[in-house]
Amino acid sequence: MKNILHSDGKLACLIVLSILVIDQIIKIEVKTHMTLHQSIEVTQWFYISFIENNGMAYGMTFINKFMLSLFRLLAIGVIAIYLYKQVKVKARTRYIVFLSMVLAGAMGNMIDSMFYGLIFNASSPYYVSYFVPWGNGYAPFLMGKVVDMFYFPLIVSTWPDWVPFWGGQEFIFFSPVFNFADACISVGFVLLMIYCRQDLSTISFRLKKKKD
């Protein structure tokens, strides 16, 4: 039992650490080598496009940045505690792996919000961003922007004229620009839904039990 706990715990730590390192390397490379909104065509359906957002996956924004950062910190804490408990109760390894991917992705974007505003100057379309002395950056703690770069315009076409509201306008299938952390969250979540519904059902069962 101890060996199982030890191996699954190590695996979770390895996954989280690996994703964080890869995510931050990509983001720092993009931020310090590209101007804001610069786009590099890799293929006709894949671009490296540098943008920044307030921190929700795929650039979505619904709430105040500071409140969003606090909510994300809380969510990360809850997921981390839950993951730790799942390792202790010997949950299936695949469940540990997928949860670790979601946790690491959330942590990756949180690092941007926590520290990028403290260590970088503001990005601009006219110059490449660079490191500055600690605390002399473009935003205070928790207010930094998240770096996105992967853009996959798989289909670029035009809406038919007869389509209400959008007729004649350009249509792009999968237009969001995202980062490696976003991808890990999405892939981890989808895999949880496909392969771990039984594991996830125990959460709702426990919640119902507590209510009863």
Residues marked active site are found at: 148, 182
Instruction: Show the tokens assigned to 70.
Output: 């606090």
DSSP helix/strand/coil, 171: strand
Helices (H), 112-179: 117-119
Cβ contact 177:208 at 8 Å: no
On the CB side of 172, CA atoms within 13 Å amount to 10
Instruction: Show the tokens assigned to 133.
Output: 């002395």
Q: Bridge partners of 151? A: 47, 177
The residue type of 46 is F
Cβ contact 157:169 at 8 Å: no
Query: Which is nearest to 200 in space by CA: 132, 99, 123?
Result: 99
Rounded-to-integer distance, Cα 13 and Cα 21, Å: 12
Query: Which is nearest to 101 in space by CA: 28, 177, 178, 191?
Result: 191
Rounded-to-integer distance, Cα 22 and Cα 20, Å: 6
